[in-house]
C-alpha cells in the first residue's frame, strides 16, 4: 500500500520499522517521536558512493546536513565515508564534535558571518562555497589576517529552473543564492578570486533545487556549468578542478510520487559530465554531489498519539495529534503531502476519511488533508511516513512545545540519539530580572 520496503505490519497488527515495533517504541519513549531507520540511511550513503564512483572515480559525496543533523547522524555519514556540508557555525561545530576531519567539511551559506569565516579558516575546513562578492572579500581579508589560504569554490546560478516548490528552487538567475552566469557576475567573481593572493579557487558549485523529480534539469545544469568552465579557461587560462552539482533528488512522500533512483541520477549526471568535458576539451573534473533529503527522508517516521476527534457533519472529520507544525512545518510551509498508517491497526482496512490536525494554535497547522484510515479512537498511534528530512532540523518551539526525541533503529534494536526536551530545557535560557519578580 505505502510501498516502503522497510515498513511492514507485524503478525499482531502492529507496524514495524526495520524490525522494531513502533507500538513498543511509542510505549517506551512517548509521542511525538522521531524514528529513523539507520540501516536505510547507511544503505543510501553506500548507494550514492557506489553509483557515482563506479562512473566517475573519486567523486566526493557530501551529506547536506541541513536535512537532518544530529551528532549521531554526522558520525554515521563519517563512518560511511561521506563528507558533509554545513551552513552555519553551529552545524560546523556539530560535525567536528562527531569526529569529522575538518577537511571533509564544506561551508555553504549566503551570508556567513565574520566569526563563522574565521572559525572555518582556523579549523581548516575543506571548501568555502562562496556565494557573493562581499563574502569573497571577507574570506580573502580574514585569510590574509590569519596567515592562511582559503580554499574556495564559487556558487553559481546556472539559470536552470527545477520543477519544484518556489521556495525550494534555487538555480534560477533571480535567486538570493549564487552568482549568475547569465548576468556576468560569475565571470567577475572568477576574476576577483584569481586576483586574491590568499584565495585558492578550486572550481564551481551549483544547486538547482530540492525534491526534484524531473532529473533532466541536472543535465541542463551540468551543461551550463561546464560550458561556463570552458569559457573561463578560454578567457583567463584558469582550469577548474572541481565541479559540485548540489543535491536535490526527490523522495517518495505519497503513493503518486515517483522519484528517480540514485543510480538513474548518477548515470545522467556522470554521462553528461564526461561527454560535456570532452566536447569542450576539458579534463573530467573531480565531481561532488551533496544529497540531503534522499539519504534521510524515507528513513524517518514520526509517531503521534491521536487525541480529540472532531466530526463536523457533512464537512470533515478532524483527528488531532500531539505534535504538528512544530515538529513538521513542511505542510504549512510548502503544502507538502504525507502518508500515514495507524501503527496499532496496521492490518485494518482504511475506511474513513480524516484530516490530521496538529496541536499548535494556528489554523494552518495540519499534517494531512484527507487521508483514509481505519476508524480512529483517542489513544491510537499514528505513524506519518517520510519525515526524516527537514522535520527535526526545522522544528520549532512554537507554543513552547518541547522538541521530540530522536531514536535510531538498527538490526532490530532502538537507541535514543537525541533525548526529548523537558520543560526545564525550554526554561533554561529564560531569565526573570529582579524587577519582574515582585
Ligand atoms: N546543497 C545545497 C547548496 C542546498 O541548498 C541543499 C538544500 C542541498 C544541497 C540538499 O538538497 P536535498 O538533497 O536535501 O534536496 N526545507 C525544504 C528544503 C530546502 C532545501 C535547501 N537546500 C524542504 O523541507 O523541502
Q: What is the pLDDT of residue 23?
A: 97
- Ligand 1 binding residues, C-beta < 6 A: 64, 66-67, 108, 168, 207, 210-211, 246-249, 290-294, 330, 334, 390
The residue whose CA has the least distance to atom 6 of ligand 1 is 247
Best of 65, 210, 259, 338 for a ligand 1 pocket test (most atoms within 8 Å of beta carbon)? 210
Q: Which of 240, 259, 124 is nearest to 193 (CA)?
A: 240
Check residue 1 and give its pLDDT.
47
Report the chain's terminal Cα–Cα distance, integer Å: 60
Distance of alpha carbon 219 from alpha carbon 192, whole angstroms: 28
In the block, cell 578560454 appears at 234
Q: What is d(CA 392, CA 384) in angstroms, rounded to the nearest whole number?
A: 13
Q: Do domains 7-37+297-427 and 108-291 have the same CATH topology?
A: no
Q: What is the CA radius of gyration of the chain?
A: 23
Q: What is the pTM of this model?
A: 0.96
Of 105, 168, 156, the closest CA to residue 130 belongs to: 156
Closest to 240 measured CA to CA, from 276, 279, 286? 286
Among 65, 73, 157, 248, say which to mutate for ligand 1: greatest number of ligand atoms within 8 Å of CB. Answer: 248
| Atom nearest to 390 CA in ligand 1 | 24
Give the CA-trace dihedral at 328, 330, 335, 339, to 10 degrees. -50
7-37+297-427 fold: Lyase, Ornithine Decarboxylase; Chain A, domain 1 (2.40.37)
CA of residue 24 to ligand 1 center, whole Å: 33
Write out the three cell numbers for 324: 504538528
State the pLDDT at residue 319: 98
Q: Which atom of ligand 1 is nearest to the CA of 170?
A: 5
Rounded to the nearest whole angstrom, what is the distance from the C-alpha of residue 361 to the centroid of ligand 1? 28
Domain 108-291, CATH 3.40.47.10 — does that match? Answer: no
Distance separating alpha carbons of residues 374 and 73, to the nearest angstrom: 34
Per-residue model confidence as pLDDT tens for the chain (438 residues): 466 778 999 999 999 998 999 999 999 999 999 999 999 999 999 999 999 999 999 999 999 999 999 999 999 999 999 999 999 999 999 999 999 999 999 999 999 999 999 999 999 999 999 999 999 999 999 999 999 999 999 999 998 877 665 555 566 667 778 999 999 999 999 999 999 999 999 999 999 999 999 999 999 999 999 999 999 999 999 999 999 999 999 999 999 999 999 999 999 999 999 999 999 999 999 999 999 999 999 999 999 999 999 999 999 999 999 999 999 999 999 999 999 999 999 999 999 999 999 999 999 999 999 999 999 999 999 999 999 999 999 999 999 999 999 999 999 999 999 999 999 999 999 999 999 999
Pocket residue to mutate for ligand 1, from 65, 67, 331, most atoms within 8 A of Cβ: 67
Q: Classify residue 97 as exposed, middle or buried by CB count within 10 Å of its CB (0-12, 13-18, 19+).
A: exposed
The residue whose C-alpha atom lies closest to atom 16 belonging to ligand 1 is 390
**Residue 20 Cα to ligand 1 middle (Å):** 29
CA 87 to centroid of ligand 1, rounded, Å? 11
Q: Who contacts 313 (Cβ-Cβ below 8 Å, separation ≥6)?
A: none
By annotation, the residues acting in catalysis are 361
**Ligand 1 center from residue 248 Cα (angstroms):** 6
Separation CA 104–CA 112 (nearest Å): 18
Mutual angle of helices 133-146 and 185-194, in 10-degree steps: 10
Residue 138 to residues 113, 226, 406: CA-CA distances in angstroms? 9, 27, 38
Q: What is each CA distance from 94 to 84, 150, 177, in whole angstroms?
A: 11, 21, 24
What is the per-residue burial (b if ≥16 Cβ within 10 Å, else e) of 122-134? eeebbbbbbbbee
**Nearest Cα to Cα of residue 122 among 97, 139, 98:** 139
The rounded Å distance from CA 247 to ligand 1 centre is: 7
Confidence (pLDDT) at 168: 54
Domain ranges of the chain: 7-37+297-427, 108-291
Here the cell at position 15 is: 507496524
Rounded to whole angstroms, the Cα distance separating 51 from 23 reads 36
d(CA 179, CA 171) in angstroms, rounded, equals 10
Nearest atom in ligand 1 to 165's CA: 25
Atom of ligand 1 nearest to the CA of 67: 14
Amino acid at each position: 500500500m505505502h510501498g516502503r520496503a522497510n515498513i511492514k505490519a507485524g503478525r499482531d497488527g502492529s507496524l514495524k520499522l526495520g524490525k522494531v515495533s513502533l507500538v513498543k517504541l511509542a510505549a517506551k519513549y512517548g509521542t511525538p517521536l522521531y524514528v529513523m531507520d539507520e540501516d536505510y540511511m547507511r544503505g543510501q550513503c553506500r548507494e550514492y558512493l557506489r553509483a557515482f564512483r563506479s562512473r566517475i572515480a573519486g567523486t566526493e559525496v557530501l551529506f547536506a546536513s541541513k536535512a537532518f543533523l544530529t551528532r549521531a547522524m554526522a558520525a554515521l555519514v563519517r563512518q560511511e565515508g561521506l563528507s558533509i556540508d554545513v551552513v552555519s557555525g553551529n552545524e560546523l561545530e556539530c560535525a567536528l564534535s562527531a569526529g569529522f576531519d575538518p577537511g571533509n567539511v564544506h561551508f555553504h551559506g549566503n551570508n556567513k558571518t565574520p566569526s563563522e569565516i574565521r572559525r572555518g579558516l582556523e579549523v581548516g575546513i575543506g571548501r568555502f562555497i562562496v556565494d557573493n562578492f562581499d563574502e569573497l572579500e571577507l574570506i580573502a581579508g580574514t585569510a590574509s589576517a590569519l596567515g592562511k589560504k582559503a580554499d574556495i569554490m564559487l556558487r553559481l546560478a546556472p539559470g536552470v529552473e527545477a520543477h519544484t516548490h518556489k521556495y525550494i528552487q534555487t538555480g534560477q538567475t533571480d535567486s538570493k543564492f549564487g552568482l549568475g552566469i547569465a548576468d556576468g557576475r560569475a565571470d567577475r567573481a572568477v576574476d576577483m578570486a584569481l586576483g586574491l593572493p590568499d584565495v585558492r579557487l578550486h572550481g564551481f558549485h551549483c544547486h538547482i533545487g530540492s525534491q526534484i523529480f524531473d532529473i533532466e534539469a541536472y543535465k541542463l545544469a551540468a551543461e551550463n556549468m561546464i560550458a561556463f568552465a570552458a569559457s573561463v579557461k578560454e578567457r583567463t587560462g584558469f582550469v577548474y578542478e572541481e565541479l559540485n552539482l548540489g543535491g536535490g533528488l526527490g523522495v517518495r512522500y505519497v503513493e503518486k510520487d515517483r522519484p528517480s533512483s540514485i543510480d538513474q541520477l548518477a548515470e545522467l549526471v556522470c554521462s553528461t559530465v564526461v561527454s560535456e568535458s570532452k566536447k569542450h576539451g576539458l579534463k573530467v573534473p573531480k565531481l561532488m554531489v551533496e544529497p540531503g533529503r534522499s539519504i534521510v527522508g524515507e528513513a524517518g517516521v514520526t509517531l503521534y498519539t491521536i487525541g480529540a476527534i472532531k466530526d463536523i457533519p457533512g464537512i470533515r472529520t478532524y483527528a488531532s495529534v500531539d505534535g504538528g507544525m512544530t515538529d513538521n512545518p513542511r505542510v504549512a510551509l510548502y503544502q507538502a503531502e504525507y502518508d500515514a498508517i495507524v501503527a496499532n491497526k496496521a492490518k485494518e482496512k482504511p475506511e474513513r476519511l480524516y484530516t490530521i490536525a496538529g496541536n499548535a494554535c494556528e489554523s494552518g497547522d495540519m499534517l494531512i488533508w484527507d487521508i483514509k484510515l481505519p476508524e480512529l479512537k483517542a489513544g491510537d498511534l499514528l505513524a506519518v511516513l517520510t519525515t526524516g528530512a527537514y522535520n527535526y532540523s526545522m522544528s520549532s518551539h512554537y507554543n513552547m512545545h518541547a522538541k521530540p526525541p530522536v531514536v535510531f533503529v538498527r538490526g532490530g534494536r532502538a537507541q535514543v540519539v537525541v533525548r526529548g526536551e523537558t520543560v526545564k530545557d525550554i526554561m533554561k535560557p529564560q531569565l526573570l530580572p529582579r524587577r519582574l519578580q515582585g
